Amino acid sequence: MIMNTVEKKINSLTVCSFILSFLIVWVHNGPVYSENSVNTSLFSKSLILFDGRIHQILTFVVPTYFLISGYLFFRNYKKELWLEKIKRRALSIGIPFIFWNTCFYFLEYVAYSLGVPNADKPICDIKHFVISVISSQYTDLWFLRYLFVCVLLSPLLYFAIKEMKFAVLTVVILIIIKMVFESTIPIFPSYYLPIYTVGGGNRDTL
């Protein structure tokens, strides 16, 4: 009975994480309506206000996503299974990340070729293609890149979780890294690593 309850909670968190991933993409696409896209009627103004407030309220989705992801990753974590977990996350995170970023790279090129307004012409060479895919230039899937970096750093994070005094030190170091290197290491999730670590630190709460 206890195991069934735990499994239900884990399944619920997994579904919640999946929903949050869609909300992250939606929120970072910005409000659907703007003052330039609709008329100035009372209904239109109310729609703009409502859409903007919803986006403000949903700013919690990214930290919540990383909190849940940290919990789900570390709930049955063992050092000897690190590489196996990396392989599984590479399939569940890496493949969708590469696939969708690649698709939108070519869709952007097609849109530009068809004269779609605001479409940018992608630079057609291997270097810029790889950069656009890794940087999520044409999608809002940047959070998957950050999540995978968190997974790669999981041995260090696990050590921090096991030893609380090192956890505090880790957070301090991450804050310093964010302040000094954030502009030069854009793939480093300095803001989300502590949140991901906190989620992992609560792995025994269920």
Domain boundaries, the chain: 1-74, 80-143, 153-206
- What is the per-residue pLDDT for 33? 47
Q: How many other C-beta atoms lie within 10 A of the C-beta of residue 150?
A: 23
pTM (two decimals): 0.76
Mean pLDDT throughout 39-67? 66
Cα-based distances in Å from 116 to 81, 107, 113: 48, 11, 8
pLDDT digits (tens, 9 = 90+) for 128-167: 888 888 888 888 898 999 899 888 888 878 877 776 656 6
User: Contact 189/175 with Cβ under 8 angstroms?
Assistant: no
Contact 66, 199 (CB under 8 A): yes
Per residue in 159-171, pLDDT tens?
Answer: 777 766 566 666 6
Short-list 38, 29, 65, 68, CA closest to 143:
65
